[in-house]
């Protein structure tokens, strides 16, 4: 007969084994379901934009959400290795103040999420089948694309710079999944990324987008990454914003700076004028990311689907250290929680009107000085993409106070 400690240890082991098996079965079930549903359509060349977005959601929402969201942030970061891009960003002064950097980062994440996971309604600009009733659906993706188009129209940006940014948005998630994820993306998933982002690129009026994965990689590798002071300055300003919650004491922040350099390939690192790092730091960086992927694969249950209730003013589901769009807590417990987050360094300040605590609306995304500008132009462009008028509640009245999570 087993003694009490041994029996309990066996029970604990069985519970752990059962949990690990349960997590793995859930992940494989969703993966298999998506691939069984869409592989025949993919082979027949019949994937729609809605299909591509659902396929992307497998990795971006369920399997590796944090890793692939960071890969998109890193894709934007790598564009700073192109002197024409970094010089324009530096000259706009949008990276001259921590508040501006943090808002740009928050707004970019909102736009990317909206483009990828709200329906790309309206007639496709690319050669894919049109979804039924696509003119009658949620127009948020079109509003977000139109808002970015309007903001970009104020600057002289070459098609090559647009195209390079688009290519990295497609390529980097696939590369990060292969390098650091618990699984690589399948051929079906790669195709979905290409279909979705090509459509977004067409709606942003980007020309000469490569049609295949191989052409996309080849084109991006041929671009002219050369050392420039503007590359270094913009990359350093962005890195400082991302790491500013870390203390300088005991060399913690400097260590994190060096780890961030380890994520760069040599070509990008040299163009940003950053020093090479020793092998053990590269090994440490890979080890941390692989450990994170192991935990996500074997221990973390699937997240629940994001809420989309279609209301006008919206909140992100996570916030930057400068808490843009974070609602103010109503109760004592919520207020204490926010104060504790500030105390330990998760946030720089308590949420307040300065950080738009009433949420965001897509047609006001961008620099604070421009939030009320270009709204009508944004609406006209969005309606052209949608193929029909956009009315309330989708295009909000300036004074709306409705709220929602996305």
pLDDT digits (tens, 9 = 90+) for 376-385: 898 999 989 8
Higher pLDDT: 329 or 87? It is 87
Residue 151's alpha-carbon distances to 39, 155, 204, 371, 396, in angstroms, are: 38, 8, 11, 10, 19
**Distance separating alpha carbons of residues 269 and 263, to the nearest angstrom:** 9
> Is residue 42 predicted with pLDDT exceeding 80?
yes
Binned at pLDDT 50, 70 and 90, residue 402 comes out as: very low
Residue-wise pLDDT for 161-180, tens only, equals 999 999 999 999 999 999 99
What pTM does this model have? 0.82
> Is residue 398 predicted with pLDDT exceeding 80?
no
Q: Which residues contact 301 (CB under 8 A, 6 or more apart)?
A: 23, 26
Q: Are 137 and 121 in contact (CB under 8 A)?
A: yes
Binned at pLDDT 50, 70 and 90, residue 310 comes out as: very low
Residue 211 is given by DSSP the state S
**Distance separating alpha carbons of residues 197 and 120, to the nearest angstrom:** 10
Residue-wise pLDDT for 88-147, tens only, equals 888 887 776 666 777 888 888 889 989 988 888 888 888 887 776 655 678 889 999 999
- Mean pLDDT for all residues in the chain: 82
Give Cα 239 distance to the centre of its chain.
Answer: 17
Q: Are 52 and 192 in contact (CB under 8 A)?
A: yes
Of the listed ranges 83-97, 174-188, 246-260, 390-404, the least confidently predicted one is: 390-404
Q: Residue 315 forms beta bridges with which residues?
A: 405
Q: Look at residue 36 in the predicted model and tell me its pLDDT.
A: 94
Q: Are 375 and 136 in contact (CB under 8 A)?
A: no
Q: Are 363 and 395 in contact (CB under 8 A)?
A: yes
Q: What are phi and psi of 309, to 5 degrees?
A: -105, 5
Residue 25 is given by DSSP the state H
Pick from 320, 255, 278, 305: which is nearest to 99 by CA? 320
Q: Which residues contact 57 (CB under 8 A, 6 or more apart)?
A: 117
Q: Are 348 and 322 in contact (CB under 8 A)?
A: yes
Domain coordinates in residue numbering, the chain: 23-298
Number of Cβ atoms within 10 Å of the Cβ of 31: 17
Structure tokens given for 89: 């960003």
Of the listed ranges 3-17, 305-319, 345-359, the least confidently predicted one is: 305-319
Q: Which residues contact 138 (CB under 8 A, 6 or more apart)?
A: 118, 119, 121, 308, 310, 394
Q: CA 260, 262, 264: angle at the middle one, nearest 5? A: 90
Higher pLDDT: 333 or 173? It is 173
Pick from 395, 400, 389: which is nearest to 363 by CA? 395
**Distance separating alpha carbons of residues 236 and 86, to the nearest angstrom:** 11
Average pLDDT (250-256) is 87
Q: Residue 314 forms beta bridges with which residues?
A: 360
Binned at pLDDT 50, 70 and 90, residue 204 comes out as: very high
Q: Look at residue 311 in the predicted model and tell me its pLDDT.
A: 46
Name the percent of the chain lying above pLDDT 90.
36
Pick from 167, 159, 160, 165: which is nearest to 213 by CA? 167
Pick from 94, 364, 367: which is nearest to 234 by CA? 94
Q: Look at residue 318 in the predicted model and tell me its pLDDT.
A: 64
Average pLDDT (180-205) is 94
Q: Look at residue 302 in the predicted model and tell me its pLDDT.
A: 62
């Amino acid at each position: 007969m087993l003694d009490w400690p041994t029996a309990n240890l066996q029970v604990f082991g069985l519970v752990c084994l059962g949990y690990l098996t349960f997590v793995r079965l859930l992940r494989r079930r969703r993966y298999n379901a998506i691939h069984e549903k869409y592989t025949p359509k993919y082979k027949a060349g019949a994937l729609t934009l809605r299909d591509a977005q659902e396929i992307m959601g497998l990795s971006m929402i369920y399997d590796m959400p944090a890793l692939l969201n960071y890969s998109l942030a890193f894709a934007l970061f790598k564009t700073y290795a192109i002197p024409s891009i970094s010089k324009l960003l530096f000259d706009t002064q949008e990276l001259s103040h921590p508040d501006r950097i943090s808002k740009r980062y928050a707004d970019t994440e909102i736009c990317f999420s909206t483009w990828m996971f709200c329906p790309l309604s309206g007639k496709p600009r690319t050669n894919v089948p049109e979804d039924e009733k696509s003119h009658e659906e949620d127009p948020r993706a079109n509003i977000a694309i139109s808002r970015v188009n309007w903001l970009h129209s104020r600057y002289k940006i070459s098609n090559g710079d647009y195209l390079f940014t688009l290519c990295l948005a497609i390529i980097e998630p696939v590369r990060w999944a292969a390098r650091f994820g618990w699984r690589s993306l399948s051929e079906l998933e790669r195709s979905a990324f290409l279909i979705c982002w090509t459509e977004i690129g067409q709606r942003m009026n980007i020309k000469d987008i490569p049609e295949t994965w191989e052409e996309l990689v080849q084109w991006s590798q041929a671009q002219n990454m050369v050392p420039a002071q503007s590359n270094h300055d913009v990359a350093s300003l962005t890195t400082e914003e991302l790491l500013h919650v870390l203390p300088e004491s005991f060399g913690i922040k400097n260590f994190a700076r060096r780890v961030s350099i380890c994520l760069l390939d040599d070509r990008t690192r040299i163009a940003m004028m950053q020093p090479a790092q020793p092998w053990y730091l590269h090994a440490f960086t890979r080890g941390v990311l692989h450990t994170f992927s192991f935990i996500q694969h074997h221990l973390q249950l699937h997240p629940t689907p994001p809420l989309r209730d279609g209301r006008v003013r919206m909140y992100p589901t996570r916030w930057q250290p400068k808490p843009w769009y974070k609602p103010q807590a109503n109760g004592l417990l919520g207020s204490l929680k926010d104060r504790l987050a500030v105390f330990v360094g998760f946030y720089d300040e308590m949420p307040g009107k300065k950080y738009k605590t009433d949420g965001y609306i897509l047609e006001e995304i961008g620099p604070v000085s421009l939030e009320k500008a270009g709204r009508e132009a944004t609406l006209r462009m969005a309606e052209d993409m949608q193929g029909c008028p956009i009315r309330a509640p989708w295009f909000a009245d300036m004074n709306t106070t409705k709220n929602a999570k996305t």
